[in-house]
Amino acid sequence: MNELFVTTESGDLLLSDTTKRSRRIRNRLASIWMAGSVLVAVVPLALVIGYVLIKGVGQLTPDWFTKDLPAVTRRAGGGMGPAIVGTLLITAVAAGMAVPLGVLGAIYLHEYGGRGRLGRLIRFMADVMTGVPSIVMGLFVYTVWTIAHGLSAFGGALALACLMLPIIIRTTEEMLRLVPDELRQASYALGNRKWRTILTVVLPAAFGGITSGVMLAIARAAGETAPLVFTIGAARNLNLSIFNGPTTALSVQIFGNAQTPFEAAQARAWGAALTLVAIVFILTILARIVAARVARRHNA
Amino acid sequence: MTEGTLRESASEVVRAPSFIADAPTSVPDNAAVVFDVSGLDVYYGNFRAVRDVNLQIHTHEITAFIGPSGCGKSTVLRCFDRMNDLIEGARIDGKIQFHGVDLYDPRIDPVEVRKRIGMVFQKPNPFPKSIYDNIAFGPRISGTKENLDDVVERALRQAALWDEVKDRLKKSAMGLSGGQQQRLCIARTIAVQPEVILMDEPCSALDPIATARIEDLMQELKSEYTILIVTHNMQQAARVSDRTAFFTTEVNPESDSRTGLLVEYAPTHKIFSAPEDERTENYVTGRFG
C-alpha cells in the first residue's frame, strides 16, 4: 500500500480519498478516449481494405495478370497486364530518379549546408512542393515534357518523381536529425572523415527510417492518377518502352473504368484497386525485410 | 603540414630523450613533454570561453583537469584533438604544440591529429553495431593490414573487457551495461593505437563499481599512453592523476558572461595538500564550487 502514501509540503502522509477517486476517474476517461480514437481510426481502414478485397477478388484470374485490356470496356474478359506492368515500370523509374536525388539532397541539408541561405531556401521549397496538388505536377510535366516528346511512361515517371522528391527530402532529413550527434563525434574522434562518417555511421543508423520515408513516397506515387492522365495516355496493349508511346497504369484504369455505367468495367475497376493495394502492401513488406537485413548487417 | 611531416617532426622529438639522457645535467622532464600549451584562449564566436592557459602535458602520465562547471576544462581538452573545430565559430588564440608541432598550423589535417590523439566521451557512445564492429571501426578506416580479429582481441584485452564479451562479439554493443559500454569506447579508441587518450568526464554516467574499474584501467594504460582526464570528481583526480590542473571561472565585468582560466597546475599531491593559490585551496577543501 506504499503508493498511497505521499508526503506533501505540509507533511501530510495520505492524500484524501476524493483526490484519489477523481484521479482514477480522469485516468479511466483518458484511457477510454485514446482507445476509442484508435478504434475510430482503424475502422475506415479495415472497411476500405475489406470492401476492395470483397469486390475485387473475383477478378484475379491468371488472365487478369497476363492479358491485354479488352477492346470494348463494357464487355467482360481481357486482363489488366499492361496496367500492372505500367504502374510497376513508371513507379520504378520515378523512384530511380527521386530516391537518390532526395536522399542526397537531405544529406546536404542536414549534414552540410542546411543552415545557410541556400539550405533554408531548399527546405522551404521542398515544403511548398509537398503541398502542390498532384494534378499541377501533371500539368507541369505535360507542358515541359509531353508536348515536346509525346505520351510515354517517362513523362508519368517525371511527374511522380516530382511528387516523391519533397517527401523523401523531408522524411530523410528528419531521420538524419534523429541520429544522435554523439555517434558523429565518436566517429570523428577516431579520425574518420566527414563523408565516411556519413556513409559508415549516420546512414546505417538512419537506414530503417529512410526506407520507411521512401516507401511512403513510393506508395503515394503508385496510387496517383491525375499526373498520369496527362502524361502517359491510355494504351490497351503492353508497352515495355519507357520513352516511346502511350502506356497505362492501374490508377488510370480505376479512374476510367469506374466512371462507366457498365458492370464489367466497374468490376475491372475494383480488381485494379485490389491489385494496386496488394502491390503497395507487398512493396512495403519487402522494404521492411530489406531494411531489417541491412540494419542487422550494419548495426548488429 | 602533411601527415608525413607531422610524423617526422614528432619522431625527432621522441628520439630526443636518448641524447638528453647522455648529458650529465639534463633539463628534467622536458623531453617527455607531449603537449606544450602557451597563451591559449578559446573563443566561441566573440565570446572568450577560456583565457591564458599555459601548461605542459608529460608523457605516460595521467593529467587531470578539475574545476567548477563552466570553467572551460572540457573546452580546453577538446582543443587537444581539435574536436572544437566541429563547433561553428570556435577558434583559438595561442599555441598548442604536440611534440613541438603546432597543432593549429593551417597545414595540419585535424583528421590525422585525431588518429593519434583519441577521445573518450562523457556519455558512453558505442555505435549501434556489433561489439566487434565497434572495435574494428577505426582500424578498418585507416586500412590496417593487421588481422582484424587480433586487433579486436588486443584492444578488448587492454580495456579489460575481453573476458566479458568474447562469447558475444557479434552481438550489439547497445546490450552492454553502461560501464561495459564505456570500456568498449576505451577499447575502440585504443584499437586506433593513438599516443594520447583524452577522457571527458568518462565516469560521470557510471556507478561507483564501474568507475573503479575504469580508474584501474587508466592506471594500466598509463604505461603505454598519455592520458588527460577532465573530472568533476576531486577524489577521482586525487586517486588517479599524476598532475592536476585547476581551472575556475571569473565574471566578465562588462557582461554577465563567465570566462574560464587556469589557476594552478602542479603535481597532484601538491594541489591537494599544499596548493599555492587560495582559490585552489578553497576548491579542494570544499569551501567553494
Average pLDDT value for residue range A262-288: 92
* pLDDT over 90, % of chain A: 64
pLDDT band at A6 (very low <50, low <70, confident <90, very high): low
pLDDT at B18 over 50: no
Q: Which of A112, A190, A202, A299 best tests the B interface by mutation, with the highest count of B CBs <10 A?
A: A190
More confident residue, A28 or B6: A28
pLDDT of amino acid A292? 84
How far, in Å, CA of A30 to CA of A70, rounded?
A: 55
Q: What is the ipTM of this complex?
A: 0.85
The domains of chain A are located at: 17-58, 61-299
Contacts of B130 in chain A (CB under 8 A): 300
Contact yes or no for A299 and B118 at CB 8 A: no
pLDDT band at B263 (very low <50, low <70, confident <90, very high): very high
How far, in Å, CA of A212 to CA of A207, rounded?
A: 9
How far, in Å, CA of A284 to CA of B5, rounded?
A: 53
Contact yes or no for B188 and A204 at CB 8 A: no
Contacts of A116 in chain B (CB under 8 A): none
pLDDT per position as a tens digit, B55-82: 999 999 999 999 998 888 999 999 999 9
Here the cell at position B184 is 568498449
pLDDT at B4 over 50: no
List C-alpha distances in Å: A291 to A51, A192, A296: 31, 25, 8
Average pLDDT value for residue range B165-182: 92
How much is the mean pLDDT over chain B?
Answer: 86
Contact yes or no for A190 and B121 at CB 8 A: no
Contact yes or no for B111 and A191 at CB 8 A: yes
Here the cell at position A239 is 508497352
Average pLDDT value for residue range B98-118: 92
B-chain residue closest to A194, CA distance: B111
Contact yes or no for B125 and A180 at CB 8 A: yes
Average pLDDT value for residue range A282-288: 89
| Domains, in order of start, for chain B | 60-87+110-284 (3.40.50.300)
pLDDT at A171 over 60: yes
pLDDT of amino acid A8? 53
Specify whether the CB–CB gap between B109 and B2 falls below 8 A. yes
Here the cell at position A218 is 513510393
A-chain residue closest to B112, CA distance: A191
How far, in Å, CA of A284 to CA of B170, rounded?
A: 28
Q: Which of A193, A196, A201 sits opposite B127 (nearest CB)?
A: A201
Contacts of A298 in chain B (CB under 8 A): 129
pLDDT of amino acid B27? 38
pLDDT band at B265 (very low <50, low <70, confident <90, very high): very high
pLDDT at B12 over 70: no
* pLDDT over 70, % of chain B: 89
CA distance A164 to chain B (A): 29
Contact yes or no for A186 and B83 at CB 8 A: no
User: Domain A61-299 adopts which CATH fold?
Assistant: MetI-like fold (1.10.3720)
Q: Classify residue A34 by burial, with Cβ atoms within 10 Å: 0-12, 13-18, 19+.
A: exposed
pLDDT of amino acid B253? 79
